[in-house]
Chain A
Amino acid sequence: MTESIAPEELWSLVESYYDVLPEKLRKELYEKILESRLSRKEAIEVIEEAVRRYRASLVDPGEAVGMVAAQSIGEPSTQMTLRTFHYAGVRELNVTLGLPRLIEIVDARKSPSTPIMEIYVTSEIAKDPEKVLEIARKIELTTIENITKSATIDYIESAIILELDPEMMENRGVTIRDVVKAINRIKGKRGRVEVMEENTIVFYTGIEDIPRLKRMYDRVFGLRIRGIKGIKHAIVKPVRDQEGNIIEYMIMTEGSNLQAVLAVEGVDASRTLTNNIVEIMEVLGIEAARSAIIREIKRVLDEHGLDVDIRHIMMVADAMTMTGRVRQVGRHGVAGEKSSVLARAAFEVTIKHLVDATVRGEIDELKGVIENVLIGSKPIPVGTGAVKLRMKYEFPVVEE
């Protein structure tokens, strides 16, 4: 038997296909060839065969990849249950998944119906549940409403009387001092806050006008004592490895505010995530939004055990992020009014589109598929039809 190829030589051989084969394939080739102890000649043969098959499996130019992606995601999606909720490991939090979530992602909604954040903390404190809880409390939005047992308006004194709930305050780590401080922020010149007996606060507003007093009453309720706007609830959750050992603690929240949470001291700004894609685009950029779209769609499909090739999902994410912002995939395709009149007329409200186009004097370039099917031109501009052929024709010399 001939001697097997040296690792260094094989490596440079495989790496010479840098422009042809993707990194993962090159690595795999290198490892597998080394493992099977092939000779130099055999190795070259194997690599050449791999290149041949790789090239054969590439998508052809002009292939309608969007159509294939739509079908490949659409068909398995019909098997999803219409409305599913999933509890994200913790009883109190539920996340929209399944078809509604899929539609939400693809629609590029400003905010999902169940915004969730996964907040990680820096490694120094990640193992200490007490410290993580402290951050969770700092993040969770606490308003006066959350800690009040009852509230009444005293019209004679034009005062608002709040009876606080000590249990809730304990729970959220808020003191009466914090509450007074919060009210002091909005009390105005004539306002005055007094702490009465146990857990009762009287806020003399100094407003005699009754509608205005009522408005103040509503305002006091929504008053933020601490926390970040939008974070309705925060729970500390252990992260476990495969054996079930706790590696660290993280925070799951209901509600999302990426910008503000990343700025919180102690939060790991490199791992913290949200399921709000538009927010990711605004805070981390378009490439992060692309990764997030792929991640979120994959998660929904995996949850239902649907096996869709990730390339189709990447295709959708690429199309959605083409213009530098997240665009929705709606009834008209990816964010778009089609430029062709005939294509639009073929979809719905035919006459209106035709009349409007006539009035405006629009020209149809007949570049898309729909309009070409419509007028019956033979090669529609997809696949083989996407290329135009030119022939050099030598006229035969006719002899006299």
Chain B
Amino acid sequence: MPKKINVLNHVLVPQHIVLSREDAIKILKKMGIKKKELPWILASDPAARAVGAKPGDVIMIIRESPTAGKSITFRYVMPG
């Protein structure tokens, strides 16, 4: 049996969370930008696939930051 790898468990991969439509809209409104103005993540990205993100979704990423402790960013899922 081939070993199953979960990329989300890797030390280099921060926590990825797919946002609901409502949450995404709320956050974009707060920042005053459009979806596509966020940094992108490809739909074929291994981490995006692992959390089951579809093109058009917004993923919330919670990074461990050496300067801020925890830092939250968002990426827009691009088809590709």
Using a CB–CB cutoff of 8 Å, the interface residues on chain A facing chain B are 22-25, 27, 262-265, 269-271, 273, 280, 282-288, 291-292, 295, 310-311, 314, 318, 321-325
In contact, A24 and B40 (Cβ under 8 angstroms): no
Complex Cα–Cα for A314 and B16 (A): 19
In contact, B47 and A22 (Cβ under 8 angstroms): no
Q: Report B-chain residues with C-beta under 8 Å of the C-beta of A314.
A: 65, 67
Shortest beta-carbon distance from A335 to chain B in Å? 13
Shortest beta-carbon distance from B51 to chain A in Å? 10
In contact, B5 and A262 (Cβ under 8 angstroms): yes
Show 12 A/B contacts (Cβ-Cβ < 8 Å), sorted by A: A25-B68, A264-B3, A270-B10, A270-B11, A284-B46, A286-B75, A287-B13, A288-B10, A295-B12, A324-B40, A324-B41, A324-B78
Contacting A at CB under 8 A, from B28-80, are 39-42, 45-48, 61, 63, 65-71, 75, 78, 80
In contact, A310 and B13 (Cβ under 8 angstroms): no
Which residue of A24, A271, A324 is within 8 Å of B75 (Cβ)?
A324
In contact, B7 and A286 (Cβ under 8 angstroms): no
Using C-beta atoms within 8 Å of the partner chain, give the interface range for chain B.
20 to 34
**Total number of residue pairs linking A and B with CB closer than 8 Å:** 99
Which residue of B2, B9, B13, B69 is within 8 Å of A263 (Cβ)?
B2
Q: Report A-chain residues with C-beta under 8 Å of the C-beta of B45.
A: 285-286, 324
Q: Report B-chain residues with C-beta under 8 Å of the C-beta of A269.
A: 3, 5-6, 9-10
In contact, B3 and A22 (Cβ under 8 angstroms): no
Complex Cα–Cα for A314 and B6 (A): 25
| Known A-B contacts A286-B45, A287-B16, A324-B41; A27 and B69 likewise in contact (beta carbons under 8 Å) | yes
In contact, A325 and B42 (Cβ under 8 angstroms): yes
Which residue of A25, A262, A286, A323 is within 8 Å of B47 (Cβ)?
A286
Shortest beta-carbon distance from A59 to chain B in Å? 13
Complex Cα–Cα for A324 and B12 (A): 16
In contact, B3 and A291 (Cβ under 8 angstroms): no
Complex Cα–Cα for A283 and B9 (A): 13
Complex Cα–Cα for A22 and B2 (A): 42
Which residue of B46, B66, B67, B71 is within 8 Å of A285 (Cβ)?
B46
Of B6, B63, B69, most A-chain CB atoms within 10 Å: B69
Q: Report B-chain residues with C-beta under 8 Å of the C-beta of A323.
A: 39-40, 78
